[in-house]
Structure 1
Amino acid sequence: MSIDLNTLDLRELNTLIRAAQDRHKALTQRQPAEKVRRKLTALAKQTGYTIEELFGPAADTAALKSKPARRKGPKIKPKYRDPENRWNTWTGRGKMPLWLASKIRFGQTPTDFLIPGVAKLTPKEKVLTGKRKLFKQS
């Protein structure tokens, strides 16, 4: 955070200094969170409760420290590339990027931008309605 002090007048500077001193005083006078957490746990245990019973399962100290890591999927190779700008790529998943959408709007097709040797067109699912299947009987 940066504040341009050159644009502030004397009254605004004094107000800023007072607010900073009040905040500093409040932060230095309060106890560390870990110490308060230990006191609350001890008091709950003394009265026959657990922190989870009082505040729910999210009050576990491990849950307060960090969230579980989000699972990332595998790295997907790009399927489409812009010939004018090689950094414009798309994997074919998610929303179509603006560079590709604008080119399609002007008459080109997505197959014009397939990366040769890497990408293949995704085949459409064949509709099997009305076709007979033969089953071998044993």
Structure 2
Amino acid sequence: MNDLNQMSLEELKKLRRDVEKAIETYKDREKIAALAEVESLAREKGFSLAELLKSGGKKSRSGLPPKFVNPADPSQTWTGRGRRPKWIEAALAEGKSLGDLAIAQ
């Protein structure tokens, strides 16, 4: 290791810049190392990392059947989950009930 007392001011400033840069990039270097480790383990098990990430993804929330339909525009439907669409709010404000907007089962 360098004796800091023997270094010139310019050498000390350069050393400080190098240390600051190493600190700033530390997490990036750790991520790269972790990714390489995970890819290596996946290869050992006979998979690619992409295969593993695809198969473990989130399941789609879509696919719920709609429960309500806009009588003025049948292309607008609502499953009954989440925020009420504006057309539902407008129909309720007009005095209609959710039952009036329900899709016949």
TM-score (norm: length of structure 2): 0.48
Normalized per residue, which structure has more helix? 2
Give the TM-score, by structure 1 length. 0.38
